[in-house]
Chain A
Amino acid sequence: MTDEFDDLLEADLRHFSGIAGQIAAEDRVRHEPPAIVWEAISVDATAPGAVVDITRARRRRRSPGRRNGLRLAAAAAAVIAVVVGTSLFTRQDPTLVATATNRDLPEQFDGELTATTRNQVDQVGLALDFSASLPTAEPIEIWLLRPDLSDMVSLGVIDDTVGWVPVPDDIDLSEFSVVDVSLEPDDGDPTHSGRSILRGSLVSI
């Protein structure tokens, strides 16, 4: 059984190594789209078909050698995030850090989480650094809570391999300032189980 597992693992590794081996500088470049792209998408989401007509109209007016009307109407030029080196992460200002510790269930996890705000291109997120291996018997979920626990948002199910989770754009980290990690039964219930293994507040550094 171990040999079979090893063979499958090695086969998987070779597959992804093949892709990784082809990674070039161009694959690390990320551009932010101009603001008008989202405007057009959100208009269509509320009135399907409207934006498509506008786009067709623009195309009919376009003549060879002239810029597409979309470009002239753009409020802001696309920002190029050219990445030098291996990381897509950028510093965020201000940087917030939470040291989440285990107060309720110390027998479940003997470690801490250091969560630090960090952007990936234009996406806000939290870099996660656990001081010990996470338990694997049950799913583990990470949350942002309001300090009075009146509201919370899940950032997803995580394990030892997760080093960063995105934070939804409409979540204000000064309001949802408590980072929480919980053990969650796999019962289809999306609400917090109440079994926190780590909790800590984001503070400015």
Chain B
Amino acid sequence: MTALATPDTRPDIDFDDPVDPVARRFAQGDESALREAYERHGSLVYSICRRSLDDAGAADVTQETFIAAWRNHARYIPERGSLAAWLTSIARNKLIDHFRSTQREERRIERVKHARSPDPRELEAAALRMLLVDAIDELAERPRMIVSMAFFDDLTHVEIAERTDIPLGTVKSDLRRSLARLRHTLEYTDD
């Protein structure tokens, strides 16, 4: 049993700007980044859409999302949040637009009642959960374990350090960095 090291209270250099290269190039209008962004985030966007729409509808909205995102690439500011968060916010708006426009069209033709447009707040909550699933999956083993203990076992960082023999300073550092990364991945601040 190793003795606990002195908690490291020296602040790490704060790289709270975990911007990925694809996001930067996307914002700059580098066309290769469009392909990479689609490879990276296409399934997530499509899967969000598939929660409310069938294959064809989801394909339509996914296409509209990436087209709109690309046309507005200069509006995406990587420091404000991940490309995934920005794309999913566009997708959510396109989903709502899609329901509005199909209902208008089909109401005119058939006067049939259709399923209500998804609640925007529920759409946002679902997108956050899906982004969080991805983000936790991408964490390294030790921070993923620590984050899981905090999230799913409801332990404080002190309790985690006690139960794992990981130095308190390391637990706090892992948590701080992981949470910064999660915040960047999940949120895009519009301002």
The CA of A168 and the CA of B55, in the complex, are separated in Å by 26
Other-chain residue from B109, B143, B150 in contact with A161 (beta carbon distance below 8 A): B143
The CA of A64 and the CA of B107, in the complex, are separated in Å by 11
The CA of A101 and the CA of B43, in the complex, are separated in Å by 35
Q: A136-B13, A155-B21, A162-B140 are in contact. Are A122 and B43 (CB under 8 A)?
A: yes
Interface residues of A in 74-94 (CB under 8 A from B): 74, 77-78, 81, 86-89
Other-chain residue from B46, B50, B137, B177 in contact with A37 (beta carbon distance below 8 A): B46
- CB contacts (< 8 Å) of A6 on chain B: these are 157, 172
Interface centre among A33, A55, A67, A154 (most CB of B within 10 A): A33
> A16 near B182 (CB under 8 angstroms)?
yes
A159 at interface (Cβ–Cβ under 8 A)? yes
Interface residues on A, range: 35 or more
A172 at interface (Cβ–Cβ under 8 A)? no
Count of chain B residues near A, Cβ 8 A = 79
Interface SS, B side: helix
Interface residues of B in 24-63 (CB under 8 A from A): 31-32, 34-36, 38-40, 42-47, 50-51, 55-60, 62-63
Q: A31-B46, A161-B178 are in contact. Are A170 and B31 (CB under 8 A)?
A: no
- CB contacts (< 8 Å) of B134 on chain A: these are 88, 120
> B156 near A32 (CB under 8 angstroms)?
no
Q: A16-B151, A68-B56 are in contact. Are A160 and B142 (CB under 8 A)?
A: yes
- CB contacts (< 8 Å) of B152 on chain A: these are 20-21
The CA of A13 and the CA of B175, in the complex, are separated in Å by 8
Q: A160-B142, A164-B137 are in contact. Are A34 and B177 (CB under 8 A)?
A: no
The CA of A59 and the CA of B71, in the complex, are separated in Å by 22
> B140 near A29 (CB under 8 angstroms)?
no
Q: How far is the CB of B133 from chain A (nearest CB, A)?
A: 5
The CA of A170 and the CA of B40, in the complex, are separated in Å by 12
- CB contacts (< 8 Å) of B20 on chain A: these are 156, 166
> A88 near B133 (CB under 8 angstroms)?
yes
> A2 near B9 (CB under 8 angstroms)?
yes
The CA of A169 and the CA of B35, in the complex, are separated in Å by 8
- CB contacts (< 8 Å) of A159 on chain B: these are 15, 18, 177
B162 at interface (Cβ–Cβ under 8 A)? no
Interface residues of A in 136-181 (CB under 8 A from B): 136-139, 154-157, 159-164, 166, 168-170
Q: How far is the CB of B91 from chain A (nearest CB, A)?
A: 12
A105 at interface (Cβ–Cβ under 8 A)? no
- CB contacts (< 8 Å) of A34 on chain B: these are 55, 59
B181 at interface (Cβ–Cβ under 8 A)? yes
B90 at interface (Cβ–Cβ under 8 A)? no
> A37 near B59 (CB under 8 angstroms)?
yes
> A23 near B60 (CB under 8 angstroms)?
no
* 9 closest A-B pairs by CB: A163-B140, A68-B56, A20-B151, A33-B46, A136-B12, A71-B56, A27-B129, A161-B143, A164-B138
* Sampled A-B contacts (9; CB under 8 Å): A16-B186, A19-B125, A20-B129, A64-B110, A78-B59, A120-B138, A133-B170, A161-B140, A161-B177
